[in-house]
Structure 1
Amino acid sequence: MQLANKTIVVTGAGGGIGRELSIQLAQRGANVAGVDINPETLGETGRIIGTGHGQFKGFQLDITNQEKVNAFPAEVLTHFGNVDGIINNAGIIQPFRPVLELTMEDINRVMAVNFYGTLYLTKAFLPILLQRPEAHIANVSSMGGFLPVPGQTIYGAAKAAVKLLTEGLYAELKDTNVRVTVIFPGAIATNIMQNSGLAMPKAEAGGEAKFKPIPARLAAGQILSGIEKNKFRVVVGQDAWMMDKLSRLNPKYAADLIQRKMRSLLG
């Protein structure tokens, strides 16, 4: 899908990949309806974009509130007149603990933001997208959505649900004007730890990093390139690319490898 002169909804636009997606969409001449629960960071995204080629409008929204999400498309249509695509990017991780030690509050929060928020936005905007000459839904899953990561099992389950939701939408919408892309980022340099209300794991709180996350700017560029090419899936980062291949070739070996890496990382 060509992005110039299109109106795209981006969740998690207050920082990280969502902010970079918003900036680069505007640079490509798209109008951006930026969504975030934090009005301060959302406003900063708007200030960074300024008055460039595309127009940015920030909308404070809790994507886990289904009633508010259902009313949201009308707000976007009132401001922009149409909607051509959504990028469900907003997400949080869980506390770095095994399932047995997680509270149901922890579990429900991770599922609500990562899966149900994506589902609510998709259902709310899909009737509008089906009326457009061309439209796009892009959902951000994770490397953890196809590979089990100890200490992030519920996060992975939520992102695996996003993966299957998106692939199912692709099949259901294949004969329509709506294209669908699922995105699998690996390690990206974002503020997801802070946004999730978590402290940095001990092994990362100083000293040399075990891996080198790619900048959010590069991740956003790869995602938008995939959307422009109507790709079925976009794997972002060398770590995600390698583990995607390995997990399909030998899933047990890949799971054991990640278990050893996480044990070393978290101590």
Structure 2
Amino acid sequence: MNVNAKNIVVTGGGNGVGRELVLQLLSKGAMVVAVDINPEALDETVQMAGKNPLLFTEVVDISNKEAVFAFAKNAIEKYGKIDGIINNAGIIQPFVELNDLEMARIERVMAINFYGTLYMVKAFLPHLLSRPEAHIVNVSSMGGFLPVPGQSVYGASKAAVKLLTEGLSSELKDTNVKVSVVIPGGIATDIKKNSSLASNESTDSSKAKMVLTPEKAAELIIKTMEKKKLRAYIGKDCNVMKFLYKVNSFIAMGMINKVMAANEH
């Protein structure tokens, strides 16, 4: 879908990849509705966009079903049409094993990563089906196909997003709504901070070469939408691990275990 002159909703638009998605979509001539739970972060995005008249912001907690459905109804009435949604918002869990992870943390990760995505899709889908052309992009993760120690619940939430998207694509194959799932590897964002977690990671140059910048990740996500691709694995680390996992899942999991053990979180 050509994003020029389209009205697109982006969740997590207050920082990181979400903010870059907003800025790049605006540069391509789209009208953007940036959604975030943090109003101050949205204000920063507005400032960075130069107070672009094609940018609108909405404070929404996507884990709240009623809030999402109310937002969708109001957005369609307020902006006249919505042609696409990019479900980018997400959080990670503390780097601890499932046995030590509090249920409140588990429920919040699932509520934002999976249910937040599901609510957005359900709330907007009837309207998207009425558009001449529409697109849904859901952002999953490398952790959604490759088990990462200490991130089992996060991985489960992102695996659910992947399967939800692929199933939805099959259901909508004869409609005007296209569906994509983007599966990124590591991205240099503040996801730990935004997930209310402390971060002690060092900036290793060899690792940095494998990690996507938010700008590049956003560019590839938009390209996935424009090319109407069902599935896009983005990032060098993601594509390397995808290959290894396909060849020998035990070797791939062993490598991830070693990498995680060698890093402080």
TM-score range, shorter chain: over 0.9
| 1:233 aligned residue | 231
Give matches, 1:70-219, under 5 Å: 70-201=69-200, 204=201, 206=202, 208=204, 211-212=207-208, 213-219=211-217
Match of 2:255 in 1: 257
Q: CA deviation at 1:183?
A: 0.5
User: With structure 1 as the length reference, what TM-score do the two structures score?
Assistant: 0.95
- 1:15 matched to 2:15? The reply is yes
Amino acid at match of 1:249: V
Distance 1:3 1:116 in 2: 26
> 4+ runs of 1 displaced by more than 2 Å?
206-210
Q: Contact 1:184 / 1:236 at 8 angstroms: preserved in 2? A: yes
- Between 16-25 and 252-261, report the one with greater CA deviation: 252-261
- Structure 2 unaligned blocks of 5 or more: none
1:151 and 1:210 mapped to 2: Cα distance? 23
CA distance in 2, matches of 1:49, 1:21: 11
**Native 8 Å contact 1:9 1:33 kept in 2:** yes
Partner SS state of residue 118, structure 2: helix
What SS does the aligned partner of 2:138 have?
strand
Identity %: 53
SS in 1 for 2:262: helix
Q: Hey, what's the Cα distance between the residues in 1 that align with 2:204 and 2:61?
A: 36
SS of match in other structure, 2:237: helix
Tell me the alpha carbon deviations over residues 116-167 of structure 1, each in whole angstroms, 9 at most, x when there is no partner: 0000000000000000001000000000001000011100000000000000
- Give the aligned residue type for 1:60: V
- How far apart are residue 50 of structure 1 and its match? 2.5
Equivalent residue for 2:35? 35
**1:31-57 deviation digits (Å, cap 9, x = unpaired):** 1111000000011111211354x7110
Aligned equivalents of 1:13 and 1:96: distance in 2?
25
Residues 56 and 248 of structure 1: CA distance in aligned 2, closer, same or farther (over 3 Å): same
Q: Distance in 2 between matches of 1:157 and 1:266?
A: 22
CA shift for structure 1 position 2 = 0.6
Secondary structure class of the residue paired with 1:42 = helix
One-letter amino acid of the counterpart of residue 135, structure 1: A
Q: Secondary structure at the match of 1:100?
A: helix
- What is the identity, as a one-letter code, of the residue corresponding to 2:204? E
